[in-house]
Structure 1
């Protein structure tokens, strides 16, 4: 409060003559406000007011008073005097075309409402901010500018938590300009286009929100430092990850792509095969708006089999071609990309579905066991379509093409089809294989995206456990850093491992609660929560909460001095580490009633991020094990999950014997990559390898063939080439598999490009 002790009662009763001749009582509060608006500090007010007191008199004009004040201010601070003379009023730009007077009460209200500040504290901060703003030489203020100054004042007074809650999210202009000019290589599936720019900008804001508002500081800090990694941060506040679809509810009841029918048209159950195909594609497209990860249809050829009865093979092939082009040309998903799609396929109708009613056109016709021939024709047609490639001869990237190998996979009746599948592997390296022969695979197992996995061992009901559910989220541990911190001490290593698992558990439980809120309180995910006769489509209660990991090989190299391919002792210690993670997850199932699993992390960018951070914070340790060029930190990377490093000098058989140890442990997802198969891509050789792998504990694998496709003449050849061998053009697109999908390697980040260079041909 400003003192007026120097103003006598008589002075306070003075009358001032306005320009129009009217008299007005002298108002000291109005004068004080005018002085403050001009930029006068509170500490200087008493002296200025005292001098004014000696000069004012009854009956003076408004102009005389202003001149007196101006002269006094001019001696104090000429800039403030000019502000006073020109009646400077702070203006705030609220939009592109609107200005409004600055109102510090809005600061008070914002601090109370947004940050939960005490009103007295909020008022103090607002007063101080107003003074700071008066000193600025700017034409106008903006809301972000004011917020920055408020946050600076909060920090100045030690109110860090208030600043945390009051902070503004977004990106610097420079970073957005850089995106506009160059795009980003953080996600190889995102192309450089207007939609991806918007997604990258939105993602950055939502990532900041997650680290500030979703996760507590100790978890956010652990992520930022690289102890753990919170995948899909941009979606932490809004959606779960992967989903394994069942087409029967839509074939029985019709399709609402928004989940309600209020915002889009509603389709009746598909009567014709063309419509059934379109609905299958649209189910994955619609679900992608509610989820961050891969969309998969399990038993794809089984569900569609009733729709193709009586059709010629050429007609079935045309239908499958329509589906494949739909999945590769629906260029609308999340920032201008195709839907991350997978289809799980059967060579025969699996036992758990043989006696189930076959759904078609809103009714049922027999059982699925009656349609085995049609299911095989669909699979064969899909193989033929994928073999042809697109109009340019390029391989189809979507959907992931996953074949389940059960007991009769290599029987005489399936031999011709199996040869075709391996011809596709030999040409493009497209198919993935699920080995259903080991006992731990149970009745049904499927895969979503590149490896996340469901198996019928949760409730014991294969349909409940593997259909209409998926992975809620996986978060990953940085295993090499644990070894650095343990400094060779086994006990300390497992203590730190446990601490990091506890952190990830806490983060996953937070994501679980957030997802429940989005599903059932905010009701944001309406496609997932739509109701059918047997209840909600999405069986959220059966989703997996998953622990991922990166760099087991480098952990072992630092801790033991040996890598996975070096000794049996290294493999056994690796099993002990991942076994500890699996035991921890299994105990959580009993404690929480939730479905906890362990996965080999799909580490498209994470293997590089963690290596780069470790080289920064643990340079002396990391430089002895990290992969890549130490002169370029952007090329550094760790070996993904529990894989053997990509250039290990071993045979394929040795690789299988090592990596099979970890597939049963990683019940949330696993994969074995057989890289660089172009020089050995003989279908008969590949089929022989497949037979041998099915007799091991490898649960999921693929043969990756690098490809070069000429953008001029369309020739597709094996290997990564700089020039077309047919027309000599250097306009050549190079394709390889990253963590799950074939992609143009030009879109990869530098760490993954370096890993690609390092990949060695395995001796068969």
Structure 2
């Protein structure tokens, strides 16, 4: 064995890659050879060769070449294996984010720190050198780019450079979570099935949510969301999309259709000449817009725009065309993450006054005015009702589009009676229709709804078409009302102080989203929305609503004053005071900023459960006295949605209307009243009588009758109520449907909190 005394006496210095000179260390080389599994018997021979060629100032690369040559000479059969292991240790290789294998280069670390974070060069070089030393000490089989980034981030934290760490961090999702999504899926959105597209969407969503919380919103807003003080909806789309839009088909019927907005990537259609093409274009408008927006897509005045295309057609032909549209909306499995388009259509019993003298658009031309096509509009509505009544090929209800009917002053005239009876038969059979009450003055000339309840009304700039068409909700964010009650500890003044603070946070978040979306629209990544017709951008972004949502008013009242909404007039008045405070805040912002701020009853498909779970964690003693759900499974805990009466409150339909009507005029960005479990009574005349009283005697602006359904997969029959077994054939292969927030969907897709709410729901209307 060669003595180490020779090397110690020679004072040989080695020049490293970075130019640093250090004393040659024999022990370090021997250890390296042994770690590379070189036979101990061969090491002496390698060192002898090295001794003959060693000189002061030799480079590490030269030493490596000498060792490699010696290895080949010693054992030609196994030398290659030794060589690869030795190279692997001394030539660190990295599996990069571009799916390539490259030699480790610390200068890349230094450059990325400077470019991505703005860190000074001296500190970046210091960190790069330390990371290189750490990696060589670890003796890893291979290195990945994420691993290097994690080590660099840890070093930034060690140096107290948290701000730089945030800029440098890598976004993504753990392997465990991806496996869980593949195996189990996710139940945040009941409209998403468990399939390859939804798995891909959920993984992408998680990355974009992380990006929004780190990059889009400042830390205090992100923290408020994560704590549960507020909820930032659609975080996965915060950087790239607005929410929803009410479409106007006249633009496409006049100028043609470019589903990509430009015609560069897809075929371009001329204006539809035939009714079949007009129907297809209507469906494609909703589908194309869904690709650029995070929420529902709707066509207002659906039967009015299509009426001129139906001139001269038989009712049978019109019904077949409407069937084509309904099937398109339930079979185009193309929306985000593999789902049907979250669609709505707003329908009229009559041509509304504001459209009666407007030019009717057909095939790129004008043919009279819309008042000339009232009969065709009436037939379209009747045909749609008949198609929806029949259900699909296996007698299952159509889940989309949301079927919204506006009830104006002539709704209950004799000429509409048969159609109104049919509408309520549809409610009785499937619980499908929604109704907008256009009687109150605060509804103005036109009001529409979409998705789960988002609302536009003609009271923004005074021009009904500008206010309600080609625009929608930019975004809504939600405040956790029960938590404000816990923190106020019974003090009214403190309660409104905290509410003010939370609204300020929501305002900042909404304004940030407004600016981000404005930039995105100008940046060209939303080409369908920004396409121009006759020189004007299709999507009227300046008229979109920026909306304050809320959850759990009933639980706030129960904790703060000891009574729920339905239990006293004082509770109801205090509840009004809270929501009026939010509305006044929004109205003041409109005056100050010139933007369209509004208030909505948040749908809260997942938020009502999320707030309840977080409050049970942080405010357990306070929360447990008011929250709904089963404490043995905290995933079932939930708050009552927005300003609704608790779902199992012992109130009649009249009492429910009396309470909830107080909040509809205040919630100008969206509201709804649900009448649950109408399977207990099935008389359309009774439902129509309730509708007439609501329209003529209340301020309820938007409502629906929800019927629970069970569909047998063996015999295909539908059964009223939620059943475990078919009452006709005895099969246990049952699919159950009900309305979640604002749309019908299979109960198996619901989250645990909403499933518990479903069990708790009580019918408000007595059996007939």
TM-score by length of 2: 0.90
Deviations 1:245-270 (A, max 9, x none): 00000000000000001110000000
Deviations 1:273-310 (A, max 9, x none): 00000000000000001100000000000000000010
Quote the residue 1:310 is aligned against. 312
Evaluate the alpha carbon distance shift between residue 132 and residue 313 of structure 1 in structure 2; reply closer, same or farther with a 3 A threshold.
same
Cα pair 2:456 2:468 within 8 Å, conserved: yes
Quote the residue 2:546 is aligned against. 545
- Does structure 1 residue 257 correspond to structure 2 residue 259? yes
Q: CA deviation at 1:94?
A: 2.2
Q: CA deviation at 1:763?
A: 3.4
Quote the residue 1:131 is aligned against. 133
Runs of 4+ in 1 over 3 A off after TM superposition: 25-40, 63-67, 82-87, 95-98
Evaluate the alpha carbon distance shift between residue 432 and residue 15 of structure 1 in structure 2; reply closer, same or farther with a 3 A threshold.
closer
Query: Superposition RMSD on alpha carbons, in Å?
Result: 2.6
Cα pair 1:553 1:645 within 8 Å, conserved: yes
Residue 701 of structure 1 aligns to a residue in which SS? strand
Deviations 1:620-642 (A, max 9, x none): 10001000011211000000000
Match of 2:369 among 367, 370, 373: 367
In 2, Cα distance between equivalents of 1:588 and 1:218: 21
Q: CA deviation at 1:534?
A: 5.5
Evaluate the alpha carbon distance shift between residue 392 and residue 26 of structure 1 in structure 2; reply closer, same or farther with a 3 A threshold.
closer
Cα pair 1:195 1:336 within 8 Å, conserved: yes
Cα pair 1:531 1:537 within 8 Å, conserved: yes
Quote the residue 1:594 is aligned against. 595
- Does structure 1 residue 620 correspond to structure 2 residue 650? no
Match of 1:745 among 741, 747, 750: 747
Quote the residue 2:762 is aligned against. 760
In 2, Cα distance between equivalents of 1:85 and 1:111: 28
Q: CA deviation at 1:186?
A: 1.2
- Does structure 1 residue 247 correspond to structure 2 residue 238? no
- Does structure 1 residue 229 correspond to structure 2 residue 234? no
Residue 446 of structure 1 aligns to a residue in which SS? strand
Quote the residue 2:43 is aligned against. none
In 2, Cα distance between equivalents of 1:575 and 1:709: 41
In 2, Cα distance between equivalents of 1:140 and 1:450: 50
In 2, Cα distance between equivalents of 1:737 and 1:609: 19
Quote the residue 2:81 is aligned against. none
In 2, Cα distance between equivalents of 1:494 and 1:31: 68
- Does structure 1 residue 151 correspond to structure 2 residue 153? yes
Q: CA deviation at 1:466?
A: 0.1
Quote the residue 1:177 is aligned against. 179
In 2, Cα distance between equivalents of 1:413 and 1:681: 24
Q: CA deviation at 1:61?
A: 2.3
Cα pair 2:88 2:141 within 8 Å, conserved: no
Q: CA deviation at 1:28?
A: 11
Residue 293 of structure 1 aligns to a residue in which SS? coil
In 1, Cα distance between equivalents of 2:227 and 2:18: 56
Deviations 1:438-492 (A, max 9, x none): 0100010000111000000001000000000000000000000000000000000
In 1, Cα distance between equivalents of 2:414 and 2:439: 18
In 2, Cα distance between equivalents of 1:320 and 1:692: 31
Q: CA deviation at 1:64?
A: 8.9
Residue 192 of structure 1 aligns to a residue in which SS? coil
Deviations 1:60-99 (A, max 9, x none): 62369999x99xxxxxxxxxxx998986221111268732
Cα pair 2:395 2:716 within 8 Å, conserved: yes
In 1, Cα distance between equivalents of 2:147 and 2:347: 56
Residue 393 of structure 2 aligns to a residue in which SS? coil
Residue 566 of structure 1 aligns to a residue in which SS? coil
Quote the residue 2:661 is aligned against. 660
In 2, Cα distance between equivalents of 1:272 and 1:83: 72
Q: CA deviation at 1:426?
A: 0.3
Cα pair 1:39 1:134 within 8 Å, conserved: no
Quote the residue 1:392 is aligned against. 394
- Does structure 1 residue 62 correspond to structure 2 residue 33? no
Deviations 1:307-339 (A, max 9, x none): 001000000000000000000000110010000
Cα pair 1:206 1:233 within 8 Å, conserved: yes
In 1, Cα distance between equivalents of 2:387 and 2:96: 56
Quote the residue 1:530 is aligned against. 531
Cα pair 1:38 1:134 within 8 Å, conserved: no
Residue 719 of structure 2 aligns to a residue in which SS? strand
Quote the residue 2:673 is aligned against. 672
In 1, Cα distance between equivalents of 2:329 and 2:193: 16
Quote the residue 1:497 is aligned against. 499
Quote the residue 2:105 is aligned against. 103
Quote the residue 1:294 is aligned against. 296
In 1, Cα distance between equivalents of 2:489 and 2:444: 40
Deviations 1:220-257 (A, max 9, x none): 00000000000000000000001000000000000000
Residue 138 of structure 2 aligns to a residue in which SS? coil
Quote the residue 1:121 is aligned against. 123
In 2, Cα distance between equivalents of 1:485 and 1:86: 59
Q: CA deviation at 1:134?
A: 1.2
Quote the residue 1:560 is aligned against. 561
In 1, Cα distance between equivalents of 2:338 and 2:439: 39
Residue 135 of structure 1 aligns to a residue in which SS? helix
Quote the residue 1:584 is aligned against. 585
Deviations 1:120-141 (A, max 9, x none): 1111111111111111131110
In 1, Cα distance between equivalents of 2:337 and 2:464: 35
Quote the residue 2:703 is aligned against. 701
In 1, Cα distance between equivalents of 2:184 and 2:361: 49
In 1, Cα distance between equivalents of 2:113 and 2:653: 62
In 2, Cα distance between equivalents of 1:141 and 1:105: 16
Quote the residue 1:572 is aligned against. 573
Structure 1 stretch displaced more, 664-673 or 102-111:
102-111
Cα pair 2:628 2:638 within 8 Å, conserved: yes
Quote the residue 2:688 is aligned against. 687
TM-score by length of 1: 0.91
Quote the residue 1:209 is aligned against. 211
Match of 1:457 among 444, 448, 459: 459
Q: CA deviation at 1:218?
A: 0.3
1:401-416 equivalences in 2 (<5 Å): 401-416=403-418
In 2, Cα distance between equivalents of 1:440 and 1:31: 82
In 2, Cα distance between equivalents of 1:347 and 1:448: 18
Q: CA deviation at 1:531?
A: 0.4
Quote the residue 1:3 is aligned against. none
Evaluate the alpha carbon distance shift between residue 414 and residue 87 of structure 1 in structure 2; reply closer, same or farther with a 3 A threshold.
closer
Cα pair 2:13 2:23 within 8 Å, conserved: no
Residue 316 of structure 2 aligns to a residue in which SS? helix
Residue 325 of structure 2 aligns to a residue in which SS? helix
Cα pair 1:15 1:26 within 8 Å, conserved: no
Quote the residue 2:440 is aligned against. 438
Quote the residue 1:74 is aligned against. none
Evaluate the alpha carbon distance shift between residue 438 and residue 27 of structure 1 in structure 2; reply closer, same or farther with a 3 A threshold.
closer
In 1, Cα distance between equivalents of 2:248 and 2:17: 77
Evaluate the alpha carbon distance shift between residue 494 and residue 61 of structure 1 in structure 2; reply closer, same or farther with a 3 A threshold.
same
Deviations 1:689-724 (A, max 9, x none): 000111200000000000000011110111000001
Evaluate the alpha carbon distance shift between residue 654 and residue 89 of structure 1 in structure 2; reply closer, same or farther with a 3 A threshold.
same
